[in-house]
Amino acid sequence: MKTTVFLGGGRITSALIAGLRLAKYDRAIVVHDRHPEKLRALRRQYRVETESNFAHAVERADLLIIAVRPDAVSGLLKKTAALPIRRGVIAVSLAAGIPLSKLQSALRAPIRWARAMPSPVCRSGQGLTALAFGRGLSPSRRKEVRELFLAVGSIVEIPDKQFDAFTVTFSSSHGYHTLATLTAAAEALGLNRKIASVAAAHALADGIAAWRKSSSSLEELLQEAVTPGGIAGTVIESLNSAGYQKMIAAGLRAGVKRARKNAAQFD
């Protein structure tokens, strides 16, 4: 049986493994992390194998998922490069900001590279993952990478140079943050917390979920929800004149800048 090894047993690894278990992913899963308590928790919760010895973990991998924070990737790849690596290993980096060109120079053939940007919503099988493939990955090896992320949601394949823009746009944190903001604003108007969050979640999620399954355009749905001269229109106009669109654009630009810093700091 082929083996998928996660280097790093933190938040995104836990979300991916939960989704993979839900999907009955049929490969062996091994996790390595420098914190024994994280390995214990993953073992208990998801019945994965854990390997506290770094070299032994790498040795077992057919798919090697690099799931440490961006500032730890370079050190991890240097340690990996010092090991004898089998032919046919695919490394998949989840690290935000670090482009394929840098990964490929840090860890060369026989390792082949892919990049993936998954969301923690993978935990429920409803994730979305962007993928990009490096040099020399055959169609059948690409299929193995796609299968992993298709097990936990949908995938989109985009050029590596668009990863930062995708990363700052697709994060489920936008939804959670907006939900918390809208709920707090509704509470300030006198709704109790529970009703405020039900109303805010409906506003953000239900119409959009229906739109994704329908053939209606977003413009048509906006027209349907906004009566000319009515309340929803007044709210949107007020949000826009307070700088709503500019704030969103500025937030995304700040995220891209942060992602580029990850790339610049990678040596």
Q: How far is the CB of 256 from ligand NAP (least distance, A)?
A: 14
Nearer to ligand NAP, 5 or 196 (CB): 5
Q: How far is the CB of 216 from ligand NAP (least distance, A)?
A: 31
Nearer to ligand NAP, 61 or 95 (CB): 95
Nearer to ligand NAP, 8 or 99 (CB): 8
Nearer to ligand NAP, 8 or 255 (CB): 8
Q: How far is the CB of 167 from ligand NAP (least distance, A)?
A: 7
Query: How far, CA to CA in Å, does 12 sit from each of 7, 95, 129, 224?
Result: 11, 10, 12, 38
Nearer to ligand NAP, 32 or 112 (CB): 32
Q: How far is the CB of 234 from ligand NAP (least distance, A)?
A: 36
Q: How far is the CB of 261 from ligand NAP (least distance, A)?
A: 12
Q: Are 97 and 262 in contact (CB under 8 A)?
A: yes
Q: Tell me the C-alpha distance between 28 and 77, whole Å.
A: 23
Tell me the residue number closest to ligand NAP, measured at CB.
10
Q: Tell me the C-alpha distance between 53 and 75, whole Å.
A: 16
Q: How far is the CB of 223 from ligand NAP (least distance, A)?
A: 35
Nearer to ligand NAP, 89 or 127 (CB): 127
User: Comparing C-alpha atoms, which of 174, 56, 62, 37 is closest to residue 114?
Assistant: 62
What are the residues binding ligand NAP (CB under 6 A)? 8-13, 32-35, 38, 67-70, 72, 75-76, 94-96, 117-118, 120
